[in-house]
Amino acid sequence: MANEPYLPGVDHTDEREDRIVLHVDADCFYAACERLREPDLEGEPVVVGMGYEPGDSVGAVATASYEARAFGVESAQAISTALEVLPRRADAEDDPNLILEETGHYRPVDMDYYQSVAAEVKDILHDCADVVREVSVDEAYLDVTERTAWSVVDGFARHVKDRIRREVGITVSVSVAPSMSAAKIASDFDKPDGLTVVRPGEVREFLAPLDVDLLHGVGPVTARELRSMGLETAADVAAADPEPLVDRFGERGRELYDRARGDDDRRVEPKGLPKSFSRESAFDGPVEEREPKRELVETLAAAVADRARREGALYRTVGVKAVRPPYEVNTRERSLPGPVDEPDLVREIALDLFAEFESEPVRKLGVRVANLEFSEADQTSLDGINWEDRTGSEEADSSTDGGDDGENDALGGADSSSPTERVTDAAEQLDLETALASDSGDRDETERSTDEDDEERANRETSVRGSGQVSLDEFE
């Protein structure tokens, strides 16, 4: 389609003021990739675990197929909890008490493989649109204003879906709207394998009945605040006096008001290089024991360092976040003498920064590397550096009572002994109160490469609405 800017028969002589934005979101992406590799898994319950190894009961659910969800497996559950409701198929051979049809297939995350599949999808997206914004490994926005027209956009969107299914072998849900925020919301309405079109002039009507927590950029904390102001639906926000919203939320209040009315003039633009990579994970409830928290910090540090290495990034800052009940967000960070790629160092610094919270009850933890560099510049030598005594360290404290603890992340909770990945994508990716990662009908894996523009902030704040997939995100 590279040389075919329009579908046949499309009259494109008139100028159109309303842009045509597609939001493409892969359905249960990790599980779909595993089924590509193992076709026998088609139709079977599939669970993909972060930090999981075959035969183990540790780690957290990164994504669960719809068949697995029917048994009660949820994203962010501890693998041990998932195994209680959906035993491992491999164990059924040795346990006569297990019913084969009530068991599932568990697989560890294989990000390199998933990214190779995602690359095939993105090749198609770039072939179908002049402008593509890749939000995460499984999510993207397309501006197809110059490729089609509203009168035939349904067929164009289905063409995109069919190409991906035919050429890659996975299903995606596609939404079409005249703005990015409306397209994002619409993508959750018809999953899996869905197609939702919101035409110009229909956006405000489409948004009106939605609960406020379904608005793009609204997470649990903001939703509670809006409801405390008597605003239950998007229609309520759209009809409200914007001044109290601005007083309560600052500039975001005006943005919420505008979005609820369907006003969003942002253009789809390719993303720049990320400024940081981070992982966040929440427990089912406050955890005081030292070891589960340290174990989680080590797991998150390893995941972040691995992501940076895979992306070819060096980092100058390592940070941690600890959320104490009820919603007290604390961050610490340390600057390094130069850009490095040292996974062991990330782990050591993260544990050191977290030490002050080891005896504190904690609901959620995060690890981040920031101040990224993607050049081929030589890495600073770490030999001989005394990390405890060096003068180059710098720690920052940001404690906020009542702040958003990121409960809108793409993953849920875990038991106190087995950490659960709740990583804030892609938002789509990803300032906790203001930003992917999403997932109502199925907001799948959003491994968020975050820059701090409106889209990533909105993705971070959007409630999880059904994905069951880990997302990578940035925390403040």
Mean pLDDT of 307-331: 88
Mean pLDDT calculated for residue range 172-200: 93
> Got the DSSP string for 217-263?
T--HHHHHHHHHTT--BHHHHHHS-HHHHHHHHTHHHHHHHHHHTT-
Place of tokens 């925020």: 181
Domain match, 379 and 405 both:
yes
301 and 408, same domain (yes or no): yes
Q: How many residues does the chain have?
A: 476
For 149-177, b/e burial (b = at least 16 CB within 10 A) is bbebbeebbebbbebbeeebebbbbbbbb
pLDDT of residue 83: 95
Q: What is the mean pLDDT of residues 188-208?
A: 92
Gyration radius of the chain's alpha carbons: 22
Q: Which of 188, 61, 184 is nearest to 470 (CA)?
A: 61
> With contact defined as beta carbons under 8 Å apart, do 429 and 376 qualify?
no
* Residues 311 and 445 grouped into a single domain: yes
**Whether 244 and 302 share a structural domain:** no
**pLDDT greater at residue 413 or residue 1:** 1
Instruction: Indicate the pairing of strand 471-472 with strand 446-447.
Output: parallel
Give the range among 282-296, 329-343, 344-358, 462-476 with minimum mean pLDDT: 462-476
The pLDDT of residue 6 is 44
pTM, rounded to two decimals? 0.62
User: Residue 101: pLDDT band by 50, 70, 90 thresholds?
Assistant: confident
- Indicate whether 117 belongs to any domain: no
- Retrieve residue 190's tokens: 């018809």
Contact 192, 66 (CB under 8 A): yes
Classify residue 2: in a domain, yes or no: no
Give the pLDDT band of residue 375 (cuts 50, 70, 90). Answer: low
Are 247 and 318 contained in the same domain?
Answer: no
Has residue 81 been placed in a domain? no
Decide which of 267 and 424 is more confident: 267
82: Cβ–Cβ under 8 A, 6 or more apart, which residues? 47, 49, 61, 64, 68, 73, 74, 106
Average pLDDT for the chain: 77
Q: Of the candidates 390, 315, 325, which has an alpha carbon nearest to the alpha carbon of residue 352?
A: 390
Element (H, E) at 83: helix 79-85
Q: Looking at residue 445, which CATH number applies to its domain? A: 3.30.1490.100
pLDDT band at 432 (very low <50, low <70, confident <90, very high): very low
| pLDDT at position 13 over 70 | no
What pLDDT score does 296 carry? Answer: 92
| Helix (H) or strand (E) run with residue 287 in it | strand 276-287
Give the integer Cα–Cα distance in Å for 333 and 329: 13
Domain total for the chain?
Answer: 2
| CB contact at 8 A, 418 and 58 | yes
pLDDT recorded at residue 282 = 79
Q: Based on the domain organization, do 251 and 388 belong to the same domain?
A: no
Task: Enumerate the β-bridge partners of residue 49.
Answer: 61, 108
312 shares its domain with 440: yes
- Quick one: pLDDT at residue 285? 83
**Contacts from 384-392 at CB under 8 Å and sequence distance 24+?**
385/337, 387/345, 387/348, 387/349, 387/352, 390/337, 392/335, 392/336, 392/337
Last residue of a domain, one of 213, 232, 260: 260
Q: What is the pLDDT of residue 310?
A: 85
Q: Flag whether pLDDT at 23 surpasses 70.
A: yes
Contacting residues for 450 by C-beta, under 8 A, at least 6 apart:
274, 275, 276, 277, 278, 429, 430, 456, 460, 472, 473, 474
Answer yes or no: do 370 and 243 share one domain.
Answer: no
- Do 240 and 280 lie in one domain? The reply is no
Confidence at 372, pLDDT banded by 50, 70, 90? very high
Kindly state whether residue 390 falls inside one of the protein's structural domains. yes
- In this structure, are 291 and 402 located in the same domain? yes
Task: Mean pLDDT check: name the lowest of 24-28, 225-229, 349-353, 462-466.
Answer: 462-466
CA dist 298 and 290 (Å) reads 12
Say if residue 250 is in the same domain as residue 338.
Answer: no
| Type and span of the H or E element at 284 | strand 276-287
Range from 35-39, 391-395, 440-444 that averages highest in pLDDT: 35-39
Asked if pLDDT for residue 426 goes beyond 70, the answer is no
Annotated catalytic residues are 139
Which single residue is written with the structure tokens 């309520």?
Answer: 236
Residue 198 placed within a domain:
no
Instruction: Give me the pLDDT at residue 136, please.
Output: 86
* Alpha-carbon distances of 394 from 308, 318, 322, 475, rounded to whole Å: 21, 10, 18, 18
pLDDT in tens, 59-97: 899 999 999 999 999 988 899 999 999 999 988 777 888
For the chain, the farthest-separated pair of C-alpha atoms sits apart, in whole angstroms, at 71
Q: Are 205 and 261 in contact (CB under 8 A)?
A: no
Instruction: Compute the average pLDDT of residues 215-232.
Output: 89
Do 379 and 455 reside in the same domain of the chain? yes
Is 386 a member of any domain? yes
Quick check: 161 pLDDT over 60? yes
Specify if 221 maps to a domain: yes
The sign one gets for the Cα dihedral 247, 252, 256, 261 is positive
Q: Which domain holds residue 396?
A: 276-472
Q: Give the CATH number of the domain where residue 217 resides.
A: 1.10.150.20
CA–CA separation, 120 and 117 (whole Å): 5
Domain assignment of residue 136, yes or no:
no
